[in-house]
């Protein structure tokens, strides 16, 4: 650690290092300096966060300090904690993540929660997720519903490989299939169809990307963020393509930007295939999900 910030004759205990790192992260505008310090130190030591406090007076070895210094440097360059640790929790599932996929967000759990409500009472539900990334949504639904048949597609081969690895880690590889595809391109249009098509697509306007937080702008994959000039290019494609793969009375569910609710609802209402269009707010009070139902017949 920098000599000007510490007294060199004191040992670097876990608690002393946490205090120093929290203050250091604050200088660089890190939003959650203490939490980040705890997560990263626990990661470097190979222990749980609670163990940091149970072993608060334990001094670190030189190699442990060296590893933590490297991690600190990455974080102050604004690399996301999830990419540094290679892990992210979603719906209480510990997932591997990398810079090839969008980091799963808590607000996306609303898709999983509402899918459970919509599909209540249906048997042998068939689900298609478009743009699966790490596989978070698919694996959460599979964990909750052993009798569902779930497919996730993504245009990125590396994303699909990671999703498959996550499925194997949680013994779900025999219940969730992943494929490399441009939206629905690999899905047979005359197949049995799906009860639910679900997606968290790119929906940020291209011009707004440079205004995002550096953790997102500099590190997360642009292909998973960029929704084109109006932010709706991917959503428009999904709305058109999904109707050919939905069963009668099946549902399309989309995550959206907080200011896109009316536009996305209009996209579905303008298609003769959909009805019963509505939107949901997340727990922060922001519009987050738009749902449309496939008409019968």
Where, residue-wise, is CATH 1.10.8.10 in the chain? Answer: 3-77
Tell me the per-residue pLDDT of 88-134, one tens digit each, with 9 for 90 and over. Answer: 999 999 999 999 999 999 999 999 999 999 999 898 999 999 999 99
Alpha helices in 209-296 (DSSP H): 214-217, 233-242, 261-269
Query: Which residues are 204's β-sheet partners?
Result: 226
For residues 272-283, one letter each, b for 16 or more C-beta atoms within 10 angstroms of the residue's C-beta and e for the rest, the string is ebbeebebbebe
102: left (phi over 0), alpha (psi -120 to 50) or beta: beta
Tell me the per-residue pLDDT of 175-211, one tens digit each, with 9 for 90 and over. Answer: 999 999 999 988 877 778 999 999 999 999 999 999 9
Class at the top of the CATH hierarchy for domain 3-77: mainly alpha
Mean pLDDT of the chain: 94
d(C-alpha 209, C-alpha 207), whole Å: 6
* Tally of CB atoms within 10 A around 142: 24
Task: Look at residue 3 in the predicted model and tell me its pLDDT.
Answer: 45
Where, residue-wise, is CATH 3.40.50.150 in the chain? Answer: 98-294
Alpha helices in 207-260 (DSSP H): 214-217, 233-242
Class at the top of the CATH hierarchy for domain 98-294: alpha beta
If residue 75 lies in a helix (H) or strand (E), which one and from where to where?
Answer: helix 62-76
* Dihedral sign (CA 192, 193, 196, 199): positive
Tell me the per-residue pLDDT of 147-183, one tens digit each, with 9 for 90 and over. Answer: 999 999 999 999 999 999 999 999 999 999 999 999 9
d(C-alpha 127, C-alpha 107), whole Å: 20
Please name the residues in contact with 197: beta carbons below 8 A apart, sequence gap of 6 or more.
127, 128, 129, 130, 238, 242, 245, 246, 250, 251, 252, 253
């Amino acid at each position: 650690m920098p000599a000007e910030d510490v007294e060199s004759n004191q040992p670097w205990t876990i608690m002393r290092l946490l205090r120093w790192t929290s203050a250091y992260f604050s200088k660089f505008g890190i939003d959650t300096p203490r939490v980040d310090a705890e997560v990263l130190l626990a990661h470097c030591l190979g222990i749980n966060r609670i163990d940091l406090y149970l072993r608060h007076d334990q001094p670190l070895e030189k190699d442990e300090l060296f590893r933590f210094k490297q991690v600190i440097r990455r974080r102050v360059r604004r690399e996301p904690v999830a990419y540094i640790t290679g892990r992210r929790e979603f719906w209480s599932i510990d997932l591997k993540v990398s810079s090839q996929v969008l980091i799963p967000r808590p607000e996306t759990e609303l898709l999983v929660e509402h899918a459970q409500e919509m599909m209540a009472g249906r048997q042998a539900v068939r689900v298609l997720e478009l743009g699966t990334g790490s596989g978070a949504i698919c694996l959460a639904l599979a964990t909750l519903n052993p009798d569902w048949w779930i497919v996730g597609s993504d245009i990125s081969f590396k994303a699909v490989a990671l999703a498959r690895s996550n499925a194997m880690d949680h013994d779900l590889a025999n219940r969730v299939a992943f494929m490399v595809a441009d939206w629905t391109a690999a899905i047979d249009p005359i197949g049995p169809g799906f009860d639910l098509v679900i997606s968290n697509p790119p929906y940020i306007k291209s011009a707004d990307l440079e205004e995002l937080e550096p953790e997102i702008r500099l590190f997360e994959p642009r292909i998973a963020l960029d929704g084109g000039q109006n932010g709706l290019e991917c959503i428009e494609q999904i709305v058109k393509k999904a109707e050919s793969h939905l069963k009668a009375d099946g549902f399309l569910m989309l995550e959206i930007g907080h200011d896109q609710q009316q536009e996305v609802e209009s996209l579905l209402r303008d298609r003769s295939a959909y009805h019963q269009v509505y939107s949901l707010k997340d727990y922060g009070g922001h519009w987050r999900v738009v749902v449309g139902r496939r008409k019968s017949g």
